[in-house]
Structure 1
Amino acid sequence: MTASWITQGLLPAAIAMIMFGMGLGLTLADFSRVLRWPKAVALGLSGQMLLLPALAFSLCLLLELSAEMAVGLMILSACPGGTMSNVISQLARANLALSITLTSFSTLICLITTPLLISWSSKYFLGQAQPQFSLVDVTLGLCAITLLPIALGMLVNHYFPNVSRKGEPLFRRFSALFMGLMIIAVLWQERQILAQSFKDMFLACLLLNLGSVALGLLLGRIFKLSRTDGVTLAIEVGIQNATLAMLIAMTFLNQPQLAIAAGVYGLTMYVGAMVIALWAKWPLGDSKPENQQASTTQSKAS
């Protein structure tokens, strides 16, 4: 895992392919939906950009995590949801169109917020031992492996819709397979450190996942969103792009030990996802408004 051709070549290329596959399923309509659901989008982004990092920071202090574990957890909390949140939203019969919109906007916003949060958390927890990196280089690197592939995928989707319709499911499967392999590789690579801190790291990741899912539901309930939109927020806030967090730790920062949190979270995040999916399918008489159903159907068709 520490070989340069993997961290400097294979890993960024694989992430770029995943983002290209994400772009194949996006249209400009996914970005314009913010005008249709401004409150839901604002709440979802606030939960992911503000409340999730705040929750992660609180857990780092309460559980007294080691500096490396704490920074790793903060890196994870700074990453967007990724395609897995869209898959889980579809399985949970949530508002898929809203999920895609939140994923799209969070990915763009994270180009700015992620480097800043990494820099701050590294200084806070590691002090003089913080890894040396350039905010500009990290931002440009994130643009190269996220923004550009997504834009290219959207262009293919626009001009060659039949190609994107057939290719997007393949890239989605590749995304899930690659994330699984990366989790196994990271945990095996850092197995000695993991063995010493597995109890604390597992507990922190599990609490972060369950807490973030609860935050999403709470936001929906407080601001009186529909049950479906509340479930969508819970999924978007609770599911993070663990593969991207691994890339940042191993490639941009050259600190594989910081990727342990992402590896553990890549396993525990499905606990909250399973709970919310089962709860979402439990009949409580709260149905989706007609405009949401139409938007969801349109999103699936695209």
Structure 2
Amino acid sequence: MEASSTLTTVFLPVALAIVMFGLGLHLTVADFTRVAKVPKAALLALVTQIVVLPLVCLGLVLVFDLDPLLAVGMMLLAASPGGTTANIFSHLAGGDVALNITLTAINSVLAVVTLPIVVNLSIAGFLGSDTSIGLQPAKMLQVFAIVLIPVVLGMAVRKRWPDFADRMTKPVKIASMVVLAAVIIGAIVAERENFVDYMRQVGLVSLLLVLISLGLGYWIPRLARVERKQAIASSFEVGIHNSTLAITIALSPTLLDNGTMAVPAAVYGVIMFIPAAILAYWVGGRSREPASQS
């Protein structure tokens, strides 16, 4: 895909802004401070998502010996925060959606720092330290802008016009899903000549990443005696990543500007729905644990 194309220069930034603005419409300052009420659940989920998951992804990338550009794309995906899709699946499964919102809010802020670190280390490791591709300080500011500014604007709208924000909940969810589908299709079209080969290379890795992420997100908190509803929330928050953000960073002419790096997020964006939907259906259909159980 050419860097000057309409997809990368216009549609992607606007699409991501819509998704992140919609996320902001659901957030309040209380969502950031709520972590004090459930510190163990939040901390375990964040550590799993920020530290454990990139290490798991690195292991998968090395085991499957991925092409270096695809390897960086996988690491970019693993470093991306959760999003509204995780909240939806958590709701369907009977998870603690308030915790999901809190985790999404905090991790979206932390990702401004953690995502560039993971990406730059991955580029140095897989492509060589002399490569010119990367998220330098100026580009990190752009990540800050595309991630946080729309979120802050959405929060401001919610604070000023809460009724409007509530009315926009359903339309924004629909718009976010449409945007996600459009971004995935756009990334696939951009690499259409090689996509079948890329799917063969990263399809299984993406599926394993989803399954392992969902499992770790649930069992690490449960082994630490976190309540089941919070563990469910953690599972989907850790397991479902913001592939729209990953694709945007990969394709953006001012950031990574590399179509191949966007492929893992596009493949993942399609594959993740299957195990996530099955898990949500299975967990949601089970009887809730008695209140006396942790």
TM-score (ref. length: structure 1) = 0.91
Paired residue secondary structure (1:281): helix
From 260, 270, 273, give the equivalent of 2:273: 270
How far apart are the structure 2 equivalents of 1:210 and 1:101? 23
AA aligned opposite 2:263: I
Contact 2:80 2:115 in 1 (8 A): yes
Per-residue deviation, 1:116? 0.9
Q: Which residue of 2 aligns with 1:178?
A: 179
Q: Any conservation in 2 of the 1:242–1:262 contact (CA below 8 Å)? A: yes
The answer as to whether partners of 1:94 and 1:280 remain within 8 angstroms in 2 is no
Residue in 2 that maps onto 1:292 = none
> Cα–Cα, structure 1 residues 250 and 288, in superposed 2: closer, same or farther, change >3 Å?
farther
In structure 2, the CA distance between the partners of 1:131 and 1:180, relative to structure 1 (3 Å rule), is farther
Structure-2 separation of matches of 1:161 and 1:221: 35
Moved more, 162-171 or 204-213: 162-171
Counterpart-to-counterpart distance in 1, 2:291 and 2:166: 26
Distance 1:61 1:30 in 2: 37
The CA distance in 1 between the partners of 2:147 and 2:291, in whole Å, is 32
Moved more, 208-217 or 3-12: 3-12
Equivalent position of 2:264 in the other structure? 261
Distance in 2, matches of 1:65 and 1:174, equals 33
Given candidates 279, 283, 288, the residue that maps to 2:282 is: 279
| Alignment partners' CA distance in 2, 1:203 and 1:133 | 26
**Length, aligned pairs only:** 289
Letter in 2 for 1:35: A
Q: Is 1:142 the equivalent of 2:156?
A: no
2:79 paired residue number: 78
The answer to whether the 8 A contact 2:112-2:143 is kept is yes
TM-score, normalised to structure 2, is 0.93
Per-residue displacement from partner, 1:179-207 (whole Å, max 9, x unpaired)? 10111121122122222232221000000
- Name 1:99's counterpart in structure 2: 100
1:90–1:244 CA distance, 2 compared to 1 (3 A): same
Q: Which runs of 4+ in 1 moved over 6 A?
A: none
Per-residue CA distance 1:203-253 (angstroms, 9 max, x = gap): 000000001111112212210112211111110110000000001100011
Distance 2:194 2:141 in 1: 31
Q: Which residue of 1 aligns with 2:192?
A: 191
> CA offset at residue 128 of structure 1?
5.6
SS class of match (1:65): coil
Aligned to 1:117: 118
Question: Matched residues in 1 for 2:193 and 2:235: separation?
Answer: 33
Deviation at 1:279, TM superposition (A): 2.9
2:28, 2:159 within 8 Å by CA — same for their partners in 1?
yes
Q: Which moved more, 1:172-181 or 1:36-45?
A: 172-181
CA-CA distance at 1:137 after TM superposition: 2.3
Q: Check conservation: 1:16, 1:149, Cα contact below 8 A.
A: yes
Cα distance in 2, alignment partners of residues 37 and 27 from structure 1: 17
Per-residue deviation, residues 63-91 of structure 1 (Å, max 9, x unmatched): 11111111110000010001111111112
Per-residue deviation at 1:284?
Answer: 4.6
Taking the TM superposition and a 5 Å limit, the aligned residue runs for 1:1-302 are: 1-2=1-2, 3-127=4-128, 130-251=131-252, 252-287=255-290
Secondary structure of the corresponding residue to residue 145 of structure 2: helix
Output the aligned Cα RMSD.
1.7
Instruction: Provide the residue aligned with 1:299 in structure 2.
Output: none
Shift, 1:268, TM fit: 1.2
Cα deviation, 1:19-51, whole Å, max 9, x if unaligned, reads 111111111111111010000000110111011
Deviation (angstroms), 1:10: 2.2
1: CA distance, partners of 2:106 / 2:278: 25
Contact 1:228 1:287 in 2 (8 A): no
